[in-house]
Amino acid sequence: MNSTIQILAQESSSGAAAVQFVILLMVPVALYFLMIRPQRKRMRETAALQASLTVGDEVITNSGIYGFITAVEDDLFWIEVDEDVQMRVARAAIQGRAPSRRSAEDADES
């Protein structure tokens, strides 16, 4: 009778250890899908956007400055922020294309 209790105790403790092991393995998997994968996707999208920018595109920088691209050098953009005012900006500082004024006006009418 005593040996039966010991066997049952060993089986339940090995089952609990297996559950803990599975949970321990699930943590890195969850981190990958919740943090790493979305960050990589954003990085790929940003790199594709920065590679597709050309002269004449209206862009916004990470610091919130709007301007038009007037020239492209290796990893630099010349951005015109006002009449006869140009800034040299690193390619990595471009956050994205500025929303077009026409689409903003359409949204205001809705």
Write down the pTM of the prediction: 0.62
Please give the tally of structural domains in the chain.
2
C-alpha to C-alpha distance for 72 and 64, rounded to whole angstroms:
20
One domain for residues 61 and 35? no
Helical ranges in 32-100 per DSSP H: 37-52
Q: Which domain-ending residue is among 52, 77, 94?
A: 52
Asked if pLDDT for residue 104 goes beyond 80, the answer is no
Band of the pLDDT at 108, cuts 50, 70, 90? low
* pLDDT recorded at residue 5: 55
At 75, give phi and psi (nearest 5°): -110, 25
Band of the pLDDT at 61, cuts 50, 70, 90? very high
Q: What is the CATH number of the domain that holds 89?
A: 2.30.30
Q: Where are the alpha helices (DSSP H) in 32-76?
A: 37-52
pLDDT band at 15 (very low <50, low <70, confident <90, very high): confident
Single-letter residue type at 42: R
Which whole number is the average pLDDT over 31-57?
92
> Are 46 and 62 contained in the same domain?
no
Q: Residues 46, 86: one domain? A: no
Band of pLDDT at residue 18, cut at 50, 70 and 90? confident
pLDDT at 65: 94
Q: Which DSSP state fits 61?
A: E
- Three-state DSSP class for residue 81: strand
The answer to whether 65 touches 96, Cβ cutoff 8 Å, is: no
Q: How far is it, in rounded angstroms, from Cα 89 to Cα 105?
A: 29
Asked whether residue 35 carries a pLDDT value surpassing 80, the answer given is: yes
Which helix (H) or strand (E) segment holds residue 8: the answer is: helix 2-31
Q: What is the pLDDT of residue 103?
A: 53
